[in-house]
Amino acid sequence: MQVSDLGVHESVVAIFPPERLRDALADHDPDVRVVGDDPADLRACDAVVTFEHRDAFLDAVDWVHSVQAGYDRFPLAEFEERGVVLTNSTGIHDTSVGETVLGMMLSLARRLHAFARNQTERVWDRPAWDEPFTLDGERLCVVGLGTLGRGIAERADAVGMTVDGVRRSPDPVPHVREVHAAADLHEAVADARFVALATPLTEETRGLMDGAAFEAMREDAYFVNVARGECADQDALVAALREGTIAGAALDVFETEPLPGDSPLWEMDDVVVTPHAAAAERDYYRHIADLVGRNVRRVAAGESFVNRVA
């Protein structure tokens, strides 16, 4: 495979201007252009960098790169069948997502979300004396200890939280005191003030946080989701919030996106809603360009792809 012509699909506008990525990729040697769904434009490319999947990619290019870490929207079996390489952007979101989760936890603990809502109504009001708390000394359970989970754990540890985690492998992880097996999820979340979900979406993780998992959490605990909406049972979450099974939530991902206007999550006092933006940052396109450029050089040298998933 040779990569001399590289397309930036216009769908990346959901995250950053395609032209920014095009210009950054130009420093890595290949000819780069912004492309849409026109089959002729796609066939003129050896590879395409995209936010969304298009079936036309499978007939046009040899390599597709997803600007997201998640690749559940791409038909892996068809990529394998056609011999088209798929790579993703795992490994670049630890800082942005880690800081977002830390900010969410700080907001809930220090009641900053309530102050922000009061400001829009010009309401001068302090919380009850026993509502605010500090993160120092509180326990966080991170479910999923890949790039995202490790980024969360590192930052939580830095502010004095006790961090435990859940993953398939029991191998130790930096900044995590104890690693629990996936089968011990309910035990792992039982004594945590915060539970942060950071797994990829797979058949094993779909609906992982269900009614039983929320029931296992403390009544004063908060659930944070920066994984995929389908990794948590949203109806069970809403029920847990309404019934006081858990205290609140901070949610960046949802089963349906955008979150429908009639969702009860919008109006719940102790729920923070963000629009699948935990990884957003102004240098996102630079990180993608560096990762894609690295693979362009590896292809030229006859080496294997970094972050290959198909």
Question: SS3 for the chain, per residue?
Answer: CCCCEEEEEHHHHHCCCHHHHHHHHHHHCCEEEEECCCHHHHHCCCEEEECCCCCCHHHHCCEEEECCCCCCCCCHHHHHHHCCEEECCCCCCHHHHHHHHHHHHHHHHHCHHHHHHHHHCCCCCCCCCCCCCCCCCCEEEEECCCHHHHHHHHHHHHCCCEEEEEECCCCCCCCCCEEEEHHHHHHHHCCCCEEEECCCCCCCCCCCECHHHHHHCCCCCEEEECCCHHHECHHHHHHHHHHCCCCEEEECCCCCCCCCCCCHHHHCCCEEECCCCCCCCCCHHHHHHHHHHHHHHHHHCCCCCCCECC
Nearest CA among 112, 70, 123, 72 for reference residue 92: 70
**Pairwise CA distance, residues 166 & 183, whole Å:** 9
Structure tokens at 82: 């056609």
Contact, 270 vs 263, CB < 8 A? no
Q: Would you please indicate which residues are annotated as catalytic (active-site) residues?
A: 228, 257, 276
**Pairwise CA distance, residues 136 & 277, whole Å:** 26
